[in-house]
Structure 1
Amino acid sequence: MAQLEYKDLLDAGVHFGHLTRKWDPRMAPYIFMEKNGIHIIDLNKTLSCLDQVEVAIKQIVRSGRKIMFVATKKQAQEIVSEEARRLKMPYVTDRWLGGMLTNFGTIRKSLKKMQTLEKMLKDETTVSNIAKRERLMLTREKDKLERVLGGVADLTRLPAALFIVDVKREHIAVSEAKRLNIPIFAICDTNSNPELVDFPIPSNDDAYKAISLITLAVGKAIEEGLMERKQDKDDQRLAEEEEAKRQADKAQSEVEASAPAPATEGDAE
Structure 2
Amino acid sequence: MIPRRVVARSSQPSKIISRYTLCLRQQRSFSTETLTDGKASAPKGPLIVDFEEQVKLAASEPSRPSTIPQAQTLGRPLTKLEEYQRLKAAKHASDQIGGVLEDHYKPHELITNPPSPRDITLELLLASGAHLGHATALWNPGNQRFIFGIRQGIHLISLDVIAAHLRRAARVVHGVSKNGGIIIFVGTRFGQERAVVEAAKRTKGYHITERWVPGTITNKDQLLGDQKLRVLNHLDQEIQLTAQQKLQLKKKLAAAAKQDTSKVKVEETVQVPHGFGAVRPDLVVCLNPLENRTMLQECAQYRIPTIGIIDTDVDPTCVTYPIPANDDSLRAVQLIVGILGKAGQEGRLARYEGEAERMEELEKQQKRLAEAQRIKDEATETAQVHKDAEQAASDARQRDLERESLISNR
Aligned partner letter, 2:367: K
Q: 1:111: how far off?
A: 4.5
Aligned to 1:206, what secondary structure does the other structure show? coil
Q: Which residue of 2 aligns with 1:226?
A: 348
Q: Which residue of 2 aligns with 1:68?
A: 184
Contact 1:2 1:217 in 2 (8 A): no
Contact 1:75 1:207 in 2 (8 A): no
Q: Which residue of 2 aligns with 1:189?
A: 311
CA distance, structure 1, for counterparts of residue 332 and residue 317 of structure 2 = 21
| Identity, % of aligned positions | 29
Q: Which residue of 1 aligns with 2:216?
A: 100
**Per-residue Cα deviation, 1:41-98 (whole angstroms, up to 9, x for no partner):** 1110011111211222222111111111111111322211232134321111101111
Q: 1:205: how far off?
A: 0.3
Normalising by structure 1, report the TM-score. Answer: 0.79
Question: Is there any run of 5+ residues in structure 2 with no aligned partner, and where?
Answer: 1-116, 229-276, 398-410
Q: Which residue of 2 aligns with 1:143?
A: none
Structure 1 position 58 matched with structure 2 position 174: yes
Aligned partner letter, 2:185: F
Q: Which has the higher contact order (CA 8 A, sep 6+)?
A: 1
Structure 1 position 172 matched with structure 2 position 288: no
Aligned partner letter, 1:244: Q
Contact 1:75 1:206 in 2 (8 A): no
Q: 1:158: how far off?
A: 0.9
Aligned to 1:56, what secondary structure does the other structure show? helix
Aligned partner letter, 2:378: E
Say which one has the larger Rg.
2
Q: Which residue of 1 aligns with 2:285?
A: 163
Q: Which residue of 1 aligns with 2:164?
A: 48
1:127-142 aligned within 5 A: none
Normalising by structure 2, report the TM-score. Answer: 0.52
Q: 1:157: how far off?
A: 1.1
CA distance, structure 1, for counterparts of residue 227 and residue 135 of structure 2 = 41
Q: 2:130 aligns with which of 2, 14, 19?
A: 14
CA distance, structure 2, for counterparts of residue 93 and residue 247 of structure 1 = 52
Q: Structure 1 residues 110, 38: CA separation in 2 closer, same or farther (over 3 Å shift)?
A: farther
Which stretches of structure 1, 4 residues or longer, exceed 6 Å deviation after superposition? none
Contact 2:139 2:313 in 1 (8 A): yes
Structure 1 position 255 matched with structure 2 position 371: no
Q: Which residue of 1 aligns with 2:55?
A: none
User: What is the root-mean-square deviation in Å for CA atoms of aligned residues?
Assistant: 2.0
Q: Which residue of 1 aligns with 2:360?
A: 238
Moved more, 225-234 or 48-57: 48-57
Question: Is there any run of 5+ residues in structure 1 with no aligned partner, and where?
Answer: 113-154
CA distance, structure 2, for counterparts of residue 223 and residue 38 of structure 1 = 36
Structure 1 position 36 matched with structure 2 position 152: yes
Q: 1:110: how far off?
A: 6.5
CA distance, structure 2, for counterparts of residue 204 and residue 106 of structure 1 = 37
CA distance, structure 2, for counterparts of residue 31 and residue 110 of structure 1 = 47
Contact 1:162 1:185 in 2 (8 A): yes
Aligned length: 225
Q: 1:109: how far off?
A: 4.2
Q: 1:197: how far off?
A: 1.0
Aligned to 1:74, what secondary structure does the other structure show? coil
